[in-house]
Amino acid sequence: MSKTLLLMGPLFEATMTTLESSYTVKRYWDAKNQSDLLNSIADDCVGVVTDGGRGVSNDILKQLPNVRVISVFGVGVDAIDLEYCKSANISVGNTPDVLSDDVADLAVALALATCRQVVNGDQYARQGLWPKQGAMPLTVRMMGKKAGIYGMGSIGTCLAKRLTGFDMQVSYCNRSEKAGSPYKFVASLEALAADADFLFITAAATAGTIGAVNQQVLDALGKNGYLINVSRGTLVDEPAMVNSLVNKTIAGAGLDVFHDEPAIPDALLTLDNVVLQPHNASGTWETRQAMGDLMLENLQCHFDNKPLTASVV
Ligand code: 8YV
């Protein structure tokens, strides 16, 4: 009999197909009665598969005492209590690196879309305003400006490489300075924001980073500064950000992530200095396939009693 796994939510189709052909997969989100489902697999379930946003709660894990592995389809593990997993002897694997290029691409796309008003320009063209009103309002250049990257991990590094292609001066703030990095290290996020035209958020959501982009940081970014977030909504004080955008004390924002996904604050939906994405930075066929492969590989490693290829705990 194949091993029983709990799948918290839908994943990339091809990954689900492989997963379901190799394991007995119980679909949590699809269950009519989730509590009955957990009871029915309490003894058999040996692993959980989930994505970065959903994670899995301790409450669910406590009802599945034989779970020894959580394989995350995503790099972020902030929706999982890692300390609890350590204490309960549960390994956690994720999918770092394979998504970094696409996330960095989307960060660049959001930055350009925001300062160059790509979405507003599209609307201007579609609504027939060009022949009626002439050229659309002028926009702001990205090339040659100052970029601050908060979080110089794999995604931040891919992003920095792209931004240098736009002749941008790149500085970064990170837990620690990266030895040999060609970019300028700035110890304080507020100081990074104060000196940046574009502040990019690429840090993982941890106790040390959640809420880091607060009112002071937004004020330091200032009325000509753009905020681009492809990490987690929780890194930003969302009400403070919304106020700053409404009052134009920052110039604009390109946002892929939000506090209470999939909810987006109403105020953001009406602002024209904001470009929004539905948490889709890793959403390409290529990256989702690679994430799925790594997620499956982590599971396989666990069941083969080998170290996970990408292990968090
Ligand atoms: C995914 C993510 O959107 O990797 C992460 O942490 O948030 C994203 O890549 C998500 O995990 C897949 O649904």
Mutate to test the pocket of ligand 1, among 282, 289, 298 (most ligand atoms within 8 A of CB): 282
State yes or no: pLDDT of 1 exceeds 90: no
82 confidence band (pLDDT: 50, 70, 90): very high
Q: Are 245 and 138 in the same domain?
A: yes
Q: 42 CA to middle of ligand 1, Å?
A: 27
Q: Is residue 312 part of a domain?
A: no
**pLDDT value at residue 218:** 99
Measure 238 CA to ligand 1 centroid, in angstroms. 20
258-276, pLDDT tens digit by residue?
Answer: 999 999 999 999 999 999 9
The chain-wide mean pLDDT, for the chain, equals 98
Do 52 and 77 fall within a single domain? yes
Domain membership flag for residue 308? no
H or E segment at 6? strand 4-7
Residues 53, 183 within the same domain: no
Average pLDDT over residues 144-156: 98
Assess whether 257 and 298 both reside in one domain: no
The number of domains in the chain is 2
pLDDT at site 95:
98
Verdict on whether the full-model pTM lies above 0.95: yes
Of all residues in the chain, what percent carry a pLDDT higher than 90? 100
Angle, CA of 250, 136 and 147, to the nearest 5°: 35
Instruction: Tell me, yes or no, whether 311 lies in a domain.
Output: no
**Across residues 290-300, what is the average pLDDT?**
98
Same domain membership, residue 154 and residue 297: no
CATH code where residue 21 lies: 3.40.50.720
Q: How far is CA 36 from CA 1, 32, 40, 285, in A?
A: 22, 9, 6, 35
Residue 185 sits in the same domain as residue 82: no
Same-domain pairing of 194 and 223: yes
Residue 147 lies in a domain: yes
Q: Which atom of ligand 1 is nearest to the CA of 77?
A: 6
Examine the pLDDT at 228 and tell me if it is beyond 90: yes
Asked if residue 281 is part of any domain, the answer here is no
- Our answer to whether residue 261 is catalytic in this structure is yes
Residues 178 and 57 in one domain: no
Please report the pLDDT score of residue 257 as a whole number. Answer: 98
> How far is ligand 1, taken at its centre, from the CA of residue 299, in Å?
18
16 and 92 together in one domain: yes
In a domain, 116, yes or no: yes
Residue 104 in domain: yes
Q: Say how many CA atoms lie within 13 Å of 157 toward its Cβ.
A: 12
- Catalytic hit among 13, 83, 175, 261: 261
Residues 203 and 145 in one domain: yes
Mean pLDDT value across residues 55-65: 98
Residue given tokens 């194949």 in the structure block: 2
CA of 139 to the centre of ligand 1 (A): 31
Which of 116, 162, 259, 279 does the annotation list as catalytic?
279
Over residues 227-255, mean pLDDT: 98
Q: Is residue 172 part of a domain?
A: yes
Cβ-count burial 139-175 (b if 16+ within 10 Å, e if not): eeebeebbbbbbbbbbbbbbbbebbeebebbbbbbbe
Mean pLDDT of 73-89: 98
Average pLDDT of the residues in 1-9: 96
Question: Does one domain contain both 135 and 165?
Answer: yes
Structural tokens at position 237: 């004080």
Phi, psi of 63 (to 5 degrees): -85, -5
Which two structure tokens, joined as six digits, stand for 158?
Answer: 């891919």
The b/e string for 116-128 (b: 16+ C-beta within 10 A; e otherwise) is ebeebbeebeeee
Q: What is the domain extent for residue 36?
A: 4-97+286-303
CB 173, CB 200: distance < 8 Å:
no
Question: Over the stretch 133-147, which tens digit does the pLDDT of each residue have?
Answer: 999 999 999 999 999
Nearest CA to ligand 1 atom 4: 74
The reply to whether 261 and 291 lie within a common domain is no
Cα within 13 Å of Cα(164), Cβ side = 10
Which among 54, 232, 288, 302 is annotated as catalytic?
232
